[in-house]
Amino acid sequence: MQLYAQWIREGKLRVNSDWNRDLKIKFTTQDPCNQVRKSYGDVYAEDLRFVIKRVVGEENFVDMTPNFSNNYCCGGGGGALQAGYPEARRSFGKIKFDQIAATGADYCITPCHNCHSQIHDLSGYFEGKYHTVHLWTIICLAMGILGENERTYLGSDLSKVGL
């Protein structure tokens, strides 16, 4: 995350949010436990938000409450996705689902693969109105280089953008 933010600031990673200026699609993000609470702290979360605001437009970012180091765990890490107890994982994850839904965002950006899998599953299981998307997908979209075969998690509102 630090490098993405640094490269954007230095102009080495050329992204822009013009693609979302008229669409006004709203995004929120998950603060991954391993990166934020267990490793890099709020500096990581700040860089994450800087990157996201640059790729979707600051006015199109809706933060969760609570956030940063106080954000809720999604319930998918620590082996929970592979442990074989989907009911328990989803029950715990309902807190995260409700938190995302409360933002009204159309998409939840996840920089962590475990978070992505869990949050995507929660949306399907609880019939959420949001899509879950990897951070790199939105970065590539903002660079104009997202291929047709890399749009699996995009909804119909974004599936054709930039093609």
d(CA 31, CA 109): 9
CA separation, residue 139 to residues 17, 48, 66, 99, 131 (Å):
10, 12, 25, 24, 16
Q: What local confidence, expressed as pLDDT, does residue 36 receive?
A: 83
Inter-residue long-range contacts of 113-119, CB under 8 Å, 24+ positions, other chains counted: 114/32, 114/74, 114/76, 114/77, 114/81, 115/30, 115/32, 115/74, 115/76, 115/77, 117/76, 117/81, 118/74, 118/75, 118/76, 118/77, 118/80, 118/81, 118/89, 118/93, 119/30, 119/74, 119/76, 119/93
User: How would you list the strands of the sheet with 107-110, edge to edge?
Assistant: 27-29, 107-110, 131-134
| Of 33 and 43, more confident | 43
Q: Which domains does the chain have, with CATH numbers?
A: 2-150 (3.40.50)
**pLDDT tens sequence across 42-100:** 999 999 999 999 999 999 999 999 999 999 999 888 777 788 889 999 999 999 999 99
pLDDT digits (tens, 9 = 90+) for 104-137: 999 999 998 889 999 999 999 999 999 999 999 9
What is the rounded CA–CA span in Å between residue 50 and residue 10? 13
